[in-house]
Structures are given as C-alpha cells and as structure tokens.
C-alpha cells in the first residue's frame, strides 16, 4: 500500500510481552471468608490472673484491643467452677472504647458464694470476645500466724567430686528465716560444731534444701546439722554423724 510505513521489528516483540504480563494477573486470588474477616475484626480481650480485695471491694485488670471499632466491655460474674461457664451478672467497664489499652474495674458487687468466676467480655460491630475466666473463693483461707521455724535433716548424704551434700526440710512458718549448715566433730552423743556454711537468709515458704561443701573437719567422726532462725525463734535438726573416710551414707 502506498504511503504505508513499516513498523520496527522490536515493537511487535514488546507488545506481545506486555500482553503476556497482563494475562498473568487473570488468575483469581483467594479472599478471606466473611466469617474469617469478622473474626479478625472482633475485639481482643484479656483479664489478668491476679486480683485484689480490700474492705469488701474487688479490683480486676486486663487489656482490650477494639481493633478500630467502638467497643463496649463488661465484667461478667458468676458461680464457679471455671468449666461451668455460667455468668449471670454483667458490670459495665467501658463504653465505645476505640484505642487499645488497659482495663480496670473496682466493685463490691461480688456474690457471697463459695467459688466465684469472672471474665471480661468485649463487643463491637463485628462480634464479641471473652477472656479466660478467673476463679477464686469468696473468702480466701487465712494464713497461719508466724512462728519459730522448724527443720528436719535427711539422714542420707552423698559425695560428688569432693563435695559433700546434705539435705533438710525447712518450714519458716511464714516469717523470713535464715538457714546454715553446721559442721563439726563427734562423737554423736556430744558433737562440737566448728564451722558453718551459710544458706538462704530470707526463706518464707516450706522448702527442701540441699547444701554442699568441700570442707569437712579433719576428725575421725564428722557430725553435721542444720540450724534455722527467724524473728520468733530458732531450731536445730538432729545430728548426722559419719566416719571421715566413709565412702557414703552409713
């Protein structure tokens, strides 16, 4: 044809490549189902496992994440145990919350029943979420009054790599208690204690303690005992005595 112009060869190649790229985008991509999308937008909510009670008022804390949607939060209260999932009272904690942050509620509206369960529940336009329940007795058992400590030594002991290890059961009776391992010479009927190995100094809960030492008195008969002390008194265990060159418990 007269007046027609020939296209450069490179032009056709470029066009075909462009069409091929467009065709790659025709594959449909999976999208989240309505249920998955709603679950992603439901508020996040949690309750702290610790709580306080003072003068008949209970305080509970936690966290809420509204996920960008105005969210209402309530404290749900009901009888235990935790697997009963019966919450028959709701106390308002927050209305229309839009920012992620802490929650706190202090209330006297806790029923006088043996076991109580509470949880936070949060609701926005996408749905509702609830925290794991926290359950507790209405009247927690009272702690026994502090008293002088007690101690009992285990009659067995062992040697490893030149270290002698001795064990005792200690009950501090609530008051902070110090523990020492005392070492000396026999006889077992009248031991004389010459040195000490310092142990815990502020034990407040019953415990089984093991203490080791590489310094055993150079005596034909060695005696050891544990001694404990707090502000209300002190006590020593019975003595465990053995031959210095004994390979193990006698």
Domain boundaries, the chain: 39-137, 150-243
Cα angle 10, 11, 16 (rounded to 5 degrees) comes to 100
Q: Secondary structure of the chain: what % helix, strand, coil (to 5)?
A: 10, 45, 40
The β-bridge relationship of strands 163-171 and 150-153 is antiparallel
Taking the alpha carbons of 194, 200, 201, 207 in that order, is the dihedral positive or negative? negative
All residue ranges of the chain with pLDDT < 70 are: 1-40, 82, 246-250
Same fold, 39-137 and 150-243: yes
In this structure, what DSSP letter does residue 82 have?
A: G
> Which residues are bridge partners to 21 per DSSP?
none
Distance CA 59, CA 87 (A): 18
Distance CA 191, CA 188 (A): 6
* E strand or H helix at 68: none
* Predicted pLDDT at 33: 56
Q: Are 52 and 136 in contact (CB under 8 A)?
A: no
Distance CA 243, CA 250 (A): 9
And the tokens for 205? 């809960």
In this structure, what DSSP letter does residue 203 have?
A: B
Distance CA 67, CA 42 (A): 7
* Predicted pLDDT at 31: 54
And the tokens for 31? 């999208």
Q: Looking at the domain that runs over 39-137, which CATH code has it been given? A: 2.60.40.2060
* Predicted pLDDT at 139: 83
Taking the alpha carbons of 206, 212, 215, 221 in that order, is the dihedral positive or negative? positive
CATH topology of domain 150-243: Immunoglobulin-like (2.60.40)
Distance CA 159, CA 196 (A): 18
In this structure, what DSSP letter does residue 37 have?
A: H
* Predicted pLDDT at 244: 80
* Predicted pLDDT at 24: 43
* Predicted pLDDT at 54: 87
**Residue 183: exposure state from Cβ atoms within 10 A (0-12, 13-18, ≥19):** buried
* Predicted pLDDT at 140: 74
Number of Cβ within 10 Å of residue 233's Cβ equals: 14
pTM of the entire structure? 0.49
Q: Are 178 and 199 in contact (CB under 8 A)?
A: yes
């Amino acid at each position: 044809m007269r007046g027609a112009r020939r296209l450069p060869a490179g032009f056709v190649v470029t066009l075909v490549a462009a069409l091929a790229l467009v065709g790659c985008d025709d594959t449909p991509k999976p999208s989240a189902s309505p249920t998955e999308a709603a679950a992603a937008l439901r508020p996040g909510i949690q309750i702290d496992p610790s709580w306080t009670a003072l003068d008949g008022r209970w305080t509970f804390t936690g966290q809420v994440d509204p996920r960008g949607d105005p969210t209402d939060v309530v404290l749900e209260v009901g009888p235990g145990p935790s697997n009963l999932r019966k919450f028959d009272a709701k106390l308002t904690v927050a209305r229309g919350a839009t920012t992620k942050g802490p929650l706190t509620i202090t209330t006297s509206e806790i029923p006088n029943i043996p076991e109580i369960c509470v949880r936070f529940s949060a609701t926005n336009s996408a749905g509702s979420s609830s925290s794991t329940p926290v359950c507790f007795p209405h009247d927690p058992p009272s702690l026994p009054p502090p008293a002088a400590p007690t101690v009992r030594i285990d009659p067995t002991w062992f040697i490893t790599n030149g270290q002698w290890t001795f064990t005792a059961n200690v009950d501090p009776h609530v008051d902070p208690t110090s523990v020492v391992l005392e070492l000396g010479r026999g006889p077992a009927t009248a031991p004389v204690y010459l040195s000490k190995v310092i142990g815990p100094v502020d034990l407040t809960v019953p415990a089984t303690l093991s203490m080791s030492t590489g310094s055993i008195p150079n005596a034909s008969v060695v005696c050891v005992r544990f001694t404990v002390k707090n502000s209300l008194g002190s006590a020593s265990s019975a003595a465990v005595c053995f031959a210095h060159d004994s390979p193990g418990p006698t």
